[in-house]
Amino acid sequence: MRNRALPRLPALHAAMLDRVIAVTSVDPCFEALLGTGSLVSGGFDAESDLDLVLVAETDRYGEAMAERRVFAGRLGDLLASCTGEHVGEPRLLICLYGPPLLHVDLKFVASDDLGHFSERPRVLWARDASAVELRLDAMTFEPEAHDAQWYEDRAWLWLHYSAAKLRRGEYFEALSGLDFFRDVVLGPMLRRNAGERPRGLRRIEGSPGAQARLVPTLAAYDRAAILEALHRTIALYMELRAADPPPAPTPHMPEALLDYVEARSVETRR
Closest CA to 106 of 42, 19, 177, 203: 19
Give the contacts of 80 (CB within 8 A, at least 6 positions apart): 95, 96
Fold of 148-269: Four Helix Bundle (Hemerythrin (Met), subunit A) (1.20.120)
In order of 118, 133, 270, the CA distances from 24 in angstroms are 24, 18, 67
Q: Is CATH 3.40.605.10 the right assignment for the domain spanning 11-137?
A: no
How far does CA 14 lie from the centroid of its chain?
23
**pLDDT number for residue 268:** 53
Distance from C-alpha of 12 to C-alpha of 35, rounded to nearest angstrom? 16
- What DSSP assignment string belongs to 120-143? PPEEEEETTHHHHHHHHHTS----
Cβ atoms within 10 Å, residue 218: 14
| Region(s) of the chain under CATH 3.30.460.10 | 11-137
HSE-up of residue 266 (Cα within 13 Å, Cβ side): 6
Cβ atoms within 10 Å, residue 210: 20
Continuous segment of H or E residues that includes residue 11: helix 11-25
pLDDT (tens place) for every residue of the chain, 270 residues total: 455 678 789 999 999 999 999 999 999 999 999 999 889 887 899 999 999 999 999 999 999 999 999 999 999 999 999 999 998 899 999 999 999 999 999 999 999 988 778 889 999 999 999 999 999 988 888 777 799 999 999 999 999 999 999 999 999 999 999 999 999 999 999 999 998 887 778 888 988 899 999 999 999 999 999 999 999 999 999 999 999 999 999 999 999 999 999 876 555 544
Distance from C-alpha of 228 to C-alpha of 181, rounded to nearest angstrom? 15
Residue 42 burial (CB < 10 Å; 0-12/13-18/19+)? Answer: exposed
Please say whether the dihedral angle defined by the alpha carbons of residues 115, 67, 106 and 16, taken in this order, is positive or negative: negative
pTM exceeding the 0.85 threshold for the entire prediction: no
**Helices 223-242 and 171-181 meet at what angle, rounded to 10?**
20
**pLDDT number for residue 1:** 46
Continuous segment of H or E residues that includes residue 64: helix 61-66
Contact 5, 122 (CB under 8 A): no
- What DSSP assignment string belongs to 171-225? HHHHHHHHHHHIIIIIHHHHHHHTTS---TTTTGGGSTTHHHHHGGG---SSHHH
Cβ burial 76-104 (10 Å sphere, 16+ → b, else e) = beeeebeeeeeeeeebbbbbebeeeebeb
**pLDDT number for residue 96:** 98
